[in-house]
Amino acid sequence: MAAAVADYRVKNYSQQKMKKGEEDTITLELVKNPDILAELCKNKSHQVVVGFCAESENLLENAKAKIEKKGCDFLIANDISRKDIGFGVDENEVSILDKNGGITKLEKASKGVIARKIWERVVEK
């Protein structure tokens, strides 16, 4: 579940172009999207579900709370505050959390190497 899913969507959308009015600011009302990962985990039986998380602060603390809340088998914790890993670059450095409370830190490496190590961890389960 590596997708960066939008947490909210616009409540009212227009079929037509929205003409600008006199106002200098406008407000869009947003409604929460379903949490696909959490829903999947609620309904899973034999499947191994791997979630990802993006955090800009308190990485492991937030990731631990998130794996509990979502109920997935693994959660891959990404630190998005760093410029040298993740978004827009070829390398990453992540921690793999498992449902039993274990944490495995993967050293900084190419995304291909990180992907392989995540896969190996998942199949060794």
- Binding test (CB under 6 A) with ligand CTP, winner from 52, 59, 73, 118: 52
DSSP state at residue 95: E
Alpha helices in the chain (DSSP H): 36-43, 59-70, 111-124
Min dist CB 114 to ligand CTP, Å, is 15
Region near ligand CTP per CB under 6 A, out of 11-19, 51-59, 100-108, 111-119: 51-59
Q: How far is CA 37 from CA 42, 49, 68, 118, 124, in A?
A: 9, 8, 12, 18, 22
| Contacting range for ligand CTP; rule: CB under 6 A; set: 47-55, 83-91, 98-106, 117-125 | 47-55
Backbone angles phi, psi at 8, to 5 degrees: -135, 155
Residue span binding ligand CTP (CB under 6 A) among the ranges 21-29, 30-38, 94-102, 104-112: 30-38
Task: Using CB under 6 A, list all residues that contact ligand CTP.
Answer: 1, 3, 5, 7, 33, 35-37, 51-54
